[in-house]
Amino acid sequence: MAYAVLIAARKLRPYFDAHTIEVLTNFPLEKAISKLDTSGRLLKWAIELSEFDLEFRPRTAIKAQALADFIVEASYQEDEVQAEVWDVSVDGSAAQTGSGAGIIMKSPTGDIFEYAIKFTFNASNNEAEYEAAIAGIQMCLAADAKRVILTTDSQLVASQFSGEYEAKEPSMVKYLEKLRSVSAQLEKFSINLVPRAENTLADALSKLASSNVADLKRTVMMEVMNKRSTESEVIRVMAITTTSEWYDNIQTYIQTGALPADLAEAKKTRRDSVWYIILWGRLYKKLFSLPFLRCLTAFESARLIEEMHEGTCGNHAGGKPLAIICQRQGYYWPTMLEYCRAYVKKCEKCQKFSAVINLPANDLMPILNPIPFAQWGMDIVGPFPMATGGRKFLIVAVD
């Protein structure tokens, strides 16, 4: 027990020096420390603890307090954070000059965002109202809103969404399904139907896209919509390159077991495949003393060399050091050294600021000979076959 108090004093010495420490124990520790005829080790600890202001008190019953602490901890509940409500006022407009939508978003903090959308397709007034409502909800989702109150002056949109009116036309059915699918992503959504006189700001924005207004005191964002929101989105794929990569045969063999038609290429693919592995959908090369190296395409390797050589942390290293840097970063392709050397030769800064080398083709060994035989060079040649007199070596002396 005394050793426990001693260790606490050593670990928390700043607190023991600055405050009075209460030691709660039911053992007679104070008497044991205060005795002068204690053992040597306990006496040594008592002398070390005597510099602190220690008060020994008996420990009281803790059953009731432990029960109270348990009730407090078990009954703790985090306060639910109420999601703040966003107010969105929308209106659609269709005229001979064109059609568009106006959206006014008001965040819970009081910020107001004005947005105008111009339609390049022919839309009726009801379709414009639906487009405005759908665009307003999508903007709230983009702003990470959870609860939205939509204000509109279109009785058709509000009544069809609530179920009072039935959507009979195919276009209205599609718009209603789209509106319900978008609003389902929110925690709470409601539509507030107001008269047109109370929705003048959104109505003015909806007419802004198709009208010529020269005197504008503020700038609003305007977007051009080329297709209806109910139309399915076409997926476009951009092909970066159509040429095959160096690891296509190996990756295909590992995934499907298919080999090239050429026998020599098939043999080489089967032999090299043991050094590769596919992890998380990517091909990696296995080495003896390095981690797995990710295999790069020709486009990726060119970007990597450029970044490592003259990027943010690039130091215009030489060809071989640059290849080692790329490998240590965890990448691999067969022609690393050739690519790096070719890139360094094409680097303008490396050629302009490189050290000028004027060394001769061979090493120069100047020897000053003021008089003959002033300097000697001696060497021992042999051993040769035994000659007369037991001679086996030849000593050569050169001036």
Which residues make Cβ contacts (< 8 Å) with residue 323, sequence separation at least 6? 336, 337, 339, 340, 341
Per-residue pLDDT, 76: 55
Q: What is the largest CA-CA distance in the chain?
A: 133
Which residues make Cβ contacts (< 8 Å) with residue 390, sequence separation at least 6? none
Read off the tokens for 20.
Answer: 């009075």
Per-residue pLDDT, 358: 65
Query: What are the Cα distances from residue 302, in Å, to 68, 183, 296, 326?
Result: 67, 46, 9, 11
pTM beyond 0.75, yes or no: no
Phi/psi for 340 (5° steps) reads -65, -40
Per-residue pLDDT, 215: 43
Per-residue pLDDT of the chain (399 residues; tens, 9 = 90+): 888 999 999 999 999 999 999 988 888 888 888 877 777 888 888 888 888 898 888 877 666 667 777 777 777 565 555 667 888 888 888 877 778 888 888 888 888 888 888 888 888 888 888 888 898 888 888 888 888 998 888 888 888 888 888 888 888 888 889 888 888 888 888 888 888 888 887 778 777 765 645 444 455 566 777 777 777 766 666 656 667 888 888 888 888 888 888 899 999 998 988 889 888 888 999 887 778 899 988 888 888 989 888 887 788 888 888 899 888 888 998 888 999 999 988 888 888 887 766 666 677 676 666 677 777 888 898 889 998 888 999 999 887
Second-level CATH architecture of 85-225: 2-Layer Sandwich (3.30)
Per-residue pLDDT, 169: 87
Per-residue pLDDT, 143: 86
- The burial class, CB within 10 Å (0-12 / 13-18 / 19+), for 46 is middle
Q: Where in the chain is the domain with CATH 3.30.420.10?
A: 85-225
Per-residue pLDDT, 91: 86
DSSP, residue by residue, 163-180: TSS---SHHHHHHHHHHH
d(CA 46, CA 48): 5
User: Residue 276: helix, strand or coil by DSSP?
Assistant: strand
Per-residue pLDDT, 369: 66
Task: Tell me if the domain spanning 248-353 has CATH number 2.120.10.30.
Answer: no
Q: What is the CA radius of gyration of the chain?
A: 43
Per-residue pLDDT, 47: 86
d(CA 168, CA 176): 11
Per-residue pLDDT, 393: 92
Per-residue pLDDT, 203: 78
**147 touches 238 (CB < 8 A):** no
Per-residue pLDDT, 11: 92
Phi/psi for 298 (5° steps) reads -65, -40
Per-residue pLDDT, 216: 42
Q: Where in the chain is the domain with CATH 1.10.340.70?
A: 248-353
